[in-house]
Amino acid sequence: MSHLRAFIAIEISQQIQQAIHKATSNLRSELGAAIRWVSPENIHLTLKFLGDISPAQVDALTQMLRAQADSVPAFDVEVGGLGSFPDVKRARVLWIGLHAPAELSVLSRGIESACARLGYESEKRGFSPHLTIGRVRQDASAADAQKIRRALEAAKVDSLGAVRVDSVYLFKSDLKRDGAVYTKLFSAPLKS
């Protein structure tokens, strides 16, 4: 039985995905091949990366997600701003920011804690909600790094709107030559 590469995430509306794509078009043109860009339809808010799981673990994860989602009411997240991890001088990941109410942190902590009880490794870094839009290529040169830094310092992404968060999802990720393909395995609605 083969394993599934899985993660828990919140979907971003197609409207916001397209707004992100439009707001970052100059950045994508300027930085081009130095960045592996995330296709708009794959932009999402990861709550927990699980890694390789067995199909037998899906049932326990869906029960856990149902319980966690049912304890948090639906909420809105404001999308906007541009940044990078770990910082602009040593950018490895480019992201769009999120301004979220406390419910997002409650949901994230609950999922992290429940995953730890199921035997998944706890995340060492604190939860920093963001939407990954690109990753700096491993073979990027020092000149590329300077170009990326300058472009990030010059770029600005204003508010792109709000996303209604009313469900949380378990996804599987299939890595293909032209990028990852995400498939929903389970959807858990938040408390209504």
As annotated, the active-site residues are 44, 130
Q: For residues 92 and 8, what is the distance between their CA atoms, to the nearest angstrom?
A: 22
Handedness of CA 89, 91, 95, 100 (dihedral sign): negative
Backbone angles phi, psi at 33, to 5 degrees: -75, -10
CA dist 63 → 2, 51, 67, 68, 70 (Å): 21, 18, 6, 9, 11
Tokens matching residue 47:
């709550």
